[in-house]
Structure 1
Amino acid sequence: MGNESSRSLNPTELSDLRDRTLFSQQEIREWYKKFHSDCPGGQMNKDEFGALFHQIFPKGDATNFADHVFHIYDKDRNGYIDFKEFLCTISIASRGTIDEKLRWAFSVYDLDGNGYVTKKEVLDIIEAIFKMRGEHNTEPEKIVAHLFAKLDKDGDQRLSDIEFILGAKAAPELLCILESDKTVT
């Protein structure tokens, strides 16, 4: 798609996005128009992405969490989110199956991308979520210990994507801990 902000999607691009997302062609066109209205250059950098999170969570500091999520969106690791990267992730977040959403959540927690989530990674994300929401929780380590007690079935002190997904599905009360827009108690 490049940096051309004045053009519309060509039929091949539209078809590709239709195949990769759960959006209709009309919805894709609407998202494209909105994205290019907000990002006339056709790309969003980390600062622009962070500014969106600050608008959504004005009472806290969303910097750390936005940085983590930006790296998930930026699939090609070029330092920008283009429309395709944006739309594919939005599709999962808004219309994906529970498995797709949990796979995406796992990728947020897997900070080093090694296919496993450690206690430190979960702690880092949970602290970033509290900070983003402007909440102070003095016991994030307890939350992490509780999660691992429930989800780490093989006791290796790390969660595979399978443990993470199956555990979250089997214990829905844990989903509120894993989601960034829910209250963690």
Structure 2
Amino acid sequence: MEQRALKKLVESICKTVKSFKKSEVHCLINLFQSLVERSGGRFDKGLDRNTFRGILYSIFGMTDDTLMNRVFFAFDKDSDNYINVIEWIKGLSVFLRGTFEEKLKFCFEVYYLNGDGCISQEEIFDMLKNSLYQQSPEEESDEGISELVDLTLKKMDYDNDGKISFADFETAVRKDTLLLEVFGPCLPEAKNCLHFEALAFRNIMTFQT
């Protein structure tokens, strides 16, 4: 990308993403470009799902297939099956330096997929089954998981409508922050974030802030 276009893109992104300095946005764009090129893609299209899953696995230490797919969809705001450079930087701002509120919204987005803004009993069942299977490959009984679903709803479904709205989720997590990733780890651990920043921003002195 030519320098004038790059500078314009940095300026544009910095208007909406406040958690990174201009020099850091510059670095993240360069990293994005190299990742796209390495995968044989095009900068204007962005990262496809497999490439992005590879990043989640190798850099952020994620191993759960289902959750990696859900994180991809949470990053991919325009639902075109590619993560463009703006989606990349906005998503990373939550991953690396998100406020509690931003992480709350992100986790909720990862956990609901059916578009109605609520996490249904079926989604809770699937996520808990998947999460338990990751921890212990022995087959969990559906009956046991159904009991867990009931317990989860009792703890988090404040309006008793059989599903978890964002208001329910926020109330529950504010009371007990351990519930933030109750349906599986969808945020990277702090050590992996530090590792990513060290990789991404190591050439930061070469850029003007």
TM tier, shorter chain? Answer: 0.7 to 0.9
1:39 pairs with 2:36? yes
- Contact 1:14/1:28, CA 8 A, preserved across alignment: yes
**Higher RCO by CA contacts (8 Å cutoff, separation 6 or greater):** 2
Q: Larger C-alpha radius of gyration, 1 or 2?
A: 2
Q: CA RMSD in A?
A: 2.5
Letter in 1 for 2:95: A
- Contact 2:120/2:162, CA 8 A, preserved across alignment: yes
CA distance in 1 between partners of 2:6 and 2:29 (Å): 12
1:20-67 per-position Cα deviation (integer Å, ceiling 9, x unaligned):
221110110111111111112221111212223343558x5x332222
* Partner residue, 1:83: 85
For 1:10, what is the secondary structure of its paired residue? helix
Shift of 1:96: 1.7
- Contact 1:123/1:141, CA 8 A, preserved across alignment: yes
CA distance in 2 between partners of 1:117 and 1:90 (Å): 24
Which stretches in structure 1 are left out of the alignment for 5+ residues?
A: 1-5
1:14 pairs with 2:10? yes
CA distance in 1 between partners of 2:132 and 2:185 (Å): 9
1:172 pairs with 2:177? yes
For 1:114, what is the secondary structure of its paired residue? coil
Q: How does 1:98-117 map to 2 (within 5 A)?
A: 98-117=100-119
- Contact 2:107/2:186, CA 8 A, preserved across alignment: no
1:120-153 per-position Cα deviation (integer Å, ceiling 9, x unaligned):
212323444455xx42273544443332211101
Letter in 1 for 2:22: Q
Q: Which has the higher strand share?
A: 1
Change (3 A) 1:57 1:147: same
Shift of 1:11: 3.5
Change (3 A) 1:74 1:153: same
Q: How does 1:23-172 map to 2 (within 5 A)?
A: 23-40=20-37, 41-42=42-43, 43-55=46-58, 56-57=60-61, 60=63, 62-130=64-132, 134-136=134-136, 138=140, 139-172=144-177
